[in-house]
Amino acid sequence: MKTFKTLLAALLFSAALFAQNVGINSDGSAPNGSAMLDVSSTTKGFLAPRMTASERGLIATPATGLLVYQTDASSGYYFNAGTPVSPAWKALAATTGTQTGQMLYWNGTAWVGISPGTNGQLLVWNNDAPAWGSLAIGATTGSGVKDADGNLYSTLLYSNGQEWMGENLKTTKFRDGSSITSLNPASSWVTGGTSSVPGYCWYNYDISNKDTYGALYNGYAVNGINNLCPIGWHVPTLDEWNSLISLQGGTVVAGGKMKEIGITHWVNPNTGADNSSSFTALPAGFVLGDGTCNNMGSVTYFWTSTVDPGNGYKCINIADTQASLYIGFVQPNVGISVRCIKD
């Protein structure tokens, strides 16, 4: 009879457990009414089942929401975000950072750390991932500069310490006062290219394009013995261009930040143009080695002094249909624009 009473009490107790919520604690407090299981303590924690990733993968038909703690590889809490038939284990929480200021982002599969940036940098979205960049900063006005022809140019001072011409170069003389050969008409441009003659022309060989767009110089004029920039100035290297580009947020957005706003000179759609850099790039076009002028209104190219072995020189390209800026190469018999930078 005593055994029967004990068994009956155990059955009644089990039924009570299934019929109502359960509290596990050391102070006898009632469980929270919203929880089926309420575990509370001020001195101890809760341990979920602990296993390796391989062991976790052997769980048969895991319920959606099943929680385990993985002990190897990317250790941490994982839950089944899929179904029992098609499990999809996901990390419950981000991996902890290893540096002060480190941030984490979800790449679609796992949490990935981003190392701390430097003072003044901002996170920008680049190639489907966040990356550190700089706030595009408009320039302050410099003191200006004159070329060997006496043309006066506005100049732009940037927070990276650079000072750039605010307009395309249009000199017809080197800094020492010697003349740059005018390769006009197209046949002269071809001859100049085959003979490595330092030269320039105006777009479509029309001097009315001079004041707005500047001259188109071949590589022999830009990177020859004589310097066509004013004294104390030079044709920028690719590194110097990259410093300015980085200041505008990188190649993905710098084209828009360096283009003139609107369609007075650029054709529609002039994508992304806001000229927040104050650089005011204009679509000066280019002249090919065969003397044909192309794409005024649509594109602009700028010389660098950096050699691209086998391909001529590195150049900068900005187009009407892109907010991006591209770094390419150009042969010395091609004519494109020049922006000088202060030494």
Mean per-residue pLDDT of the chain: 86
- Is residue 158 located within the same domain as residue 129? no
β-pair partners for 187 = none
Q: How confident is the model at residue 122 (pLDDT cuts 50, 70, 90)?
A: low
- Is residue 107 located within the same domain as residue 154? no
- Is residue 297 located within the same domain as residue 148? yes
- Is residue 165 located within the same domain as residue 300? yes
Give the list of residues 6+ apart from residue 49 with CB closer than 8 angstroms, or none.
68, 69
Total domain count, the chain: 3
- Is residue 127 located within the same domain as residue 217? no
pLDDT digits (tens, 9 = 90+) for 232-273: 999 999 999 999 999 999 999 999 999 999 999 999 999 999
- Is residue 112 located within the same domain as residue 213? no
Q: pLDDT at position 205, please? A: 97
Asked whether residue 88 is domain-assigned, the answer is: no
Q: pLDDT at position 137, please? A: 57
- Poorest-pLDDT segment among 37-41, 150-154, 205-209, 222-226: 222-226
Write out the two tokens for 230: 């004013």
- Is residue 248 located within the same domain as residue 121? no
- Is residue 119 located within the same domain as residue 187? no
- Is residue 15 located within the same domain as residue 144? no
Asked whether residue 283 is domain-assigned, the answer is: yes
β-pair partners for 307 = 313
Q: How confident is the model at residue 334 (pLDDT cuts 50, 70, 90)?
A: very high
Dihedral (Cα; 128, 319, 238, 198), 10-degree rounding:
160
Asked whether residue 219 is domain-assigned, the answer is: yes
Q: pLDDT at position 83, please? A: 93
* Distance (Å, whole) CA 205 – CA 98: 61
pLDDT digits (tens, 9 = 90+) for 135-189: 445 678 888 999 999 999 999 999 899 999 999 999 999 999 999 999 999 999 9
C-alpha to C-alpha distances, 84 to 60, 61, 62, 110, nearest whole angstrom: 8, 4, 5, 21
Q: Which residues of 303-326 are buried (b: 16+ CB within 10 A; e: fewer)?
A: bbbbebeeebbbbbbbbbebbbbe
Mean pLDDT over residues 278-303, rounded? 97
* Distance (Å, whole) CA 56 – CA 76: 12
21 is in which domain, residue-wise? Answer: 1-46
- Poorest-pLDDT segment among 89-98, 104-113, 267-276: 89-98
C-alpha to C-alpha distances, 287 to 11, 27, 183, 208, 213, nearest whole angstrom: 95, 87, 11, 16, 13
Mean pLDDT over residues 318-326, rounded? 96
Asked whether residue 93 is domain-assigned, the answer is: no
- Is residue 173 located within the same domain as residue 315? yes
- Poorest-pLDDT segment among 82-96, 264-278, 302-316: 82-96
Model's pTM, two decimal places? 0.62
Write out the two tokens for 136: 């595009």
Asked whether residue 69 is domain-assigned, the answer is: no
* Distance (Å, whole) CA 231 – CA 39: 79
Reference 219, options 296, 123, 314; nearest CA is 314
- Poorest-pLDDT segment among 80-89, 179-188, 285-294: 80-89
Q: Given 3-state DSSP classes, what are the helix, strand and coil percentages for the chain, each rounded to the nearest 5?
A: 20, 30, 50
C-alpha to C-alpha distances, 135 to 116, 123, 241, nearest whole angstrom: 16, 9, 16
Last residue of a domain, one of 91, 115, 134: 134
Last residue of a domain, one of 115, 134, 153: 134
- Is residue 239 located within the same domain as residue 338? yes
The answer to whether 219 touches 302, Cβ cutoff 8 Å, is no
**Higher pLDDT residue, 305 or 44?**
305
- Is residue 19 located within the same domain as residue 153? no
pLDDT digits (tens, 9 = 90+) for 188-221: 999 999 999 999 999 999 999 999 999 999 999 9
Asked whether residue 158 is domain-assigned, the answer is: yes
Q: pLDDT at position 65, please? A: 87
Mean pLDDT over residues 115-132, rounded? 64
Last residue of a domain, one of 111, 134, 157: 134
Residue with the two structure tokens 């929480």 = 93
Q: pLDDT at position 27, please? A: 83
* Distance (Å, whole) CA 90 – CA 43: 29
C-alpha to C-alpha distances, 81 to 64, 84, 85, 108, 137, nearest whole angstrom: 6, 10, 12, 13, 44
Asked whether residue 92 is domain-assigned, the answer is: no
The strand order across the sheet containing 155-157 reads 140-141, 155-157, 163-165, 341-342, 233-234
Asked whether residue 337 is domain-assigned, the answer is: yes
